[in-house]
Amino acid sequence: MTVRLEPEEEAILAGAEGPAARKALEIVLTLGRIYGAERLVPVASVQVAGVSYRNLGDAGLEFLRDWAEQGARVRVPTTLNPAGMDLDAWGEMGIPEAFARRQGEVIAAYVRMGIAPTCTCTPYLVGNVPAYGEHIAWSESSAVCYANAVLGARTNREGGPSALAAAVCGRTAAYGLHLEEGRRATHRIRVTCPVREPWEYAALGFWVGGRVGGGVPYFEGLDLPPVTAASVAGEPALSSPTHDALKLMGAALASSGAVGLYHVAGCTPEARIRNDLLPPGVQEVVVDSLEPAVAALNASVETIDLVVIGCPHASLGEVRAVAERLRGRRLAADLWLTVARGVRERAVAEGLVETIEAAGGRVVADGCVVVAPMRDLPYRTLATNSAKMASYALPHAGLRVRFGPLEACIEAGIRGRWETVVH
C-alpha cells in the first residue's frame, strides 16, 4: 500500500527539517503501510506513553537522549503519561533516590524535545480537550478511550515511540479509529441490570472489555445524560459524575480488553449524531449482572495497607468527594489520591489537599501506582474503586486488591480492614 504524501511531508522525508524529523516521519509512514493507510493526517495534540523509568529502564532513557541529541523537537502541544512518582514529593512517597534520579533524567530528555512535563493519563482535565472530529495521537489506553468516546476526537492507541514520532513530525497515519468505518460498532451490549455508581460502570467496563477484545462496543440500557460539546468545554463539566463514570468505564474496557472507542446510546456524541454505528448482524452481548465482574476483581484479603483512588487520575470532583468523606477523620491505612498536577493545584487552592493530609492521606501528582516501583515499598494489599487498578495491581505492582465503591474504599482506609460489599 502506497501512502500519499503532501509536498511538506515529502520535504521532511528528504531531510529538509533534519534527521530527527525524517526518522519520525519514517516511523509514521511504516505504520501507515502496515495498516493500509492511504494518507497521513495532521494531529492537534499528542500524549506520549513510556515515561516511568520502571518501564523504560536505561535502554529507554538512552533512546530518548539520542532523539533529543539529534534535534528532535515537537510540533504540536504534547504531554506525558504518568511517571513512576510525584516529581516534587517522591521522597514522601518512599521512592528510592536512585529511581528518582533516573526518573528525573527521563523527564529532562522529554523537556529537551519541547514536551511539557505534564505527567497525566487525563490531559483533558488540565486543559487539553480535543474538539469533536479532531485528529490526535494519544498513547495511554484510558485517555484514548475517553478522547474517542466522550469527546468524539479521533486517535488510535499509539505506542510510546509512535506517539513521539507523531509529535515530532506533526502527523499520524489515517487508519483504524481515524476513519469513519473504523468507528462503527462490532458488538451491541444490552445492559439489563442496574448500573448507577461510577464503580459499577467500572465493573461493567471490565466485564465487557474481556468479551469484545479490541472491538467497538455500543451500549444500550445505560441511564446517562447526553454528553455535548458544551458539557466538555470546561472543568466543572469534566468533574461531573457522568464524566467520572465514563472515565472509569473506558479505563476498564481498555485494560481487560483493548477497546479504544465505545458508544453509549443517547449519551456519547457519535451515538447521538450518527445513525450508521450498528451494522446489520452485529454481535450482541447481554449483561444481566455485575456480580461476576465484582467477584473477579476481588481477592480474599481483609487487611488493607493502601487505598488508591485516581486510576485514571482523579477529577477535581473526585478529590472533593474524598476530602468530604475524610473530613475530621483519621486513616489507619495509607491513602494515595493520584491526580494531574494542575488538578492538585486547584485542590490546594480549595483547601482539599489540607483536609486529606490532615486525615493522613496523600494527594500524589504526576505518578501512578501501576508504573511506580511498588515492590520496593511496604505495601501488599490495596483497596480501589477502579477496575483498571484492580486488574493491574497484582501483575504490575504485586498487590492483592479489594474493589468496590468509593465509600467502601475510604472506610477500609479508616479501619485498615475491608468490609464486605454486597452488590
Domain membership of residue 153 (yes or no) is yes
> Distance between CA atoms of 401 and 297, rounded to whole angstroms?
7
- Label residues 238-253 b or e (16+ Cβ within 10 Å = b): bbbbbbbbbbbbbbbb
What digits encode the pLDDT tens for the residues 369-383? 999 999 999 999 999
- 3-class secondary structure, 173: strand
Same domain as 116, residue 130:
yes
Confidence (pTM): 0.95
Q: What's the confidence (pLDDT) of residue 421?
A: 65
Count of residues making up the chain: 423
Q: What's the confidence (pLDDT) of residue 396?
A: 87
Q: What's the confidence (pLDDT) of residue 227?
A: 85
Same domain as 250, residue 334:
no
**35: nearest Cα among 215, 174, 182, 153:** 174
Same domain as 280, residue 350:
no
Domain membership of residue 420 (yes or no) is no
Strand partners, 339: 365
Cell numbers placing 362: 496523600
Q: What is the CATH number of the domain that holds 47?
A: 3.30.499.10
Please give the share of the chain, as a percent, with pLDDT higher than 90.
93
- Label residues 75-107 b or e (16+ Cβ within 10 Å = b): bbbbbbbbbbbbbebbeebebeeebbebbeebb
What digits encode the pLDDT tens for the residues 248-278? 999 999 999 999 999 999 999 999 999 999 9
Sign of the alpha-carbon torsion through 198, 204, 209, 210: positive
Split at pLDDT 50, 70, 90, the class of 420 is confident
> Distance between CA atoms of 111 and 123, rounded to whole angstroms?
17
Among 127, 155, 178, where does a domain finish?
178
Q: Please compute the mean of the pLDDT values over residues 182-202 and round it to a whole number.
A: 98
**157: nearest Cα among 169, 174, 145, 173:** 145
What digits encode the pLDDT tens for the residues 316-347? 999 999 999 999 999 999 999 999 999 999 99
Residues 6+ apart with CB under 8 A from 98: none
> Distance between CA atoms of 283 and 182, rounded to whole angstroms?
16
The one-character DSSP state at 275 is S
Same domain as 307, residue 211:
no
The region, left, alpha or beta by phi > 0 then psi within -120 to 50, assigned to residue 407 is alpha
Strand partners, 334: 306
Domain membership of residue 139 (yes or no) is yes
Same domain as 231, residue 357:
no
Q: Please compute the mean of the pLDDT values over residues 25-36 and round it to a whole number.
A: 97
**11: nearest Cα among 184, 169, 248:** 169
Q: What's the confidence (pLDDT) of residue 123?
A: 96
Domain membership of residue 115 (yes or no) is yes
- Label residues 282-300 b or e (16+ Cβ within 10 Å = b): beebebeebeebbebbbee
Q: What's the confidence (pLDDT) of residue 234?
A: 47
Same domain as 80, residue 50:
yes
Are 87 and 119 contacting, i.e. CB atoms less than 8 angstroms apart? yes
Please give the share of the chain, as a percent, with pLDDT higher than 70.
96
Are 310 and 344 contacting, i.e. CB atoms less than 8 angstroms apart? no
- 233 pLDDT exceeds 60? no
Domain membership of residue 120 (yes or no) is yes
Domain membership of residue 364 (yes or no) is yes
Among 127, 150, 178, where does a domain finish?
178
Q: Among all chains, which residue has been given the C-alpha cell 460502570?
A: 201
Residue 354 phi, psi (nearest 5): -60, -40
Same domain as 50, residue 141:
yes
Split at pLDDT 50, 70, 90, the class of 422 is low
Are 83 and 367 contacting, i.e. CB atoms less than 8 angstroms apart? yes
- 182 pLDDT exceeds 50? yes
Strands (E) located in 331-380? 334-339, 362-365
Same domain as 238, residue 210:
yes
Residues 6+ apart with CB under 8 A from 138: 45, 46, 47, 123, 144, 147, 155, 157, 158, 163
> Distance between CA atoms of 377 and 398, rounded to whole angstroms?
11
Mean pLDDT of the chain: 95
Same domain as 359, residue 251:
no
Same domain as 188, residue 156:
no
Domain membership of residue 251 (yes or no) is yes
Cell numbers placing 79: 504531554
End-to-end C-alpha distance for the chain, whole angstroms = 51
Strand partners, 46: 78, 137
- Label residues 318-336 b or e (16+ Cβ within 10 Å = b): bbbbbbebbeeeebebbbb
Q: In total, how many domains does the chain have?
A: 3
Same domain as 50, residue 27:
yes
Q: Which helix (H) or strand (E) holds 383?
A: strand 381-384
Domain membership of residue 375 (yes or no) is yes
Among 271, 294, 317, where does a domain finish?
294
Supply the range of the domain harboring residue 302. 298-415
What digits encode the pLDDT tens for the residues 278-315? 999 899 999 999 999 999 999 999 999 999 999 999 99
Same domain as 105, residue 16:
yes
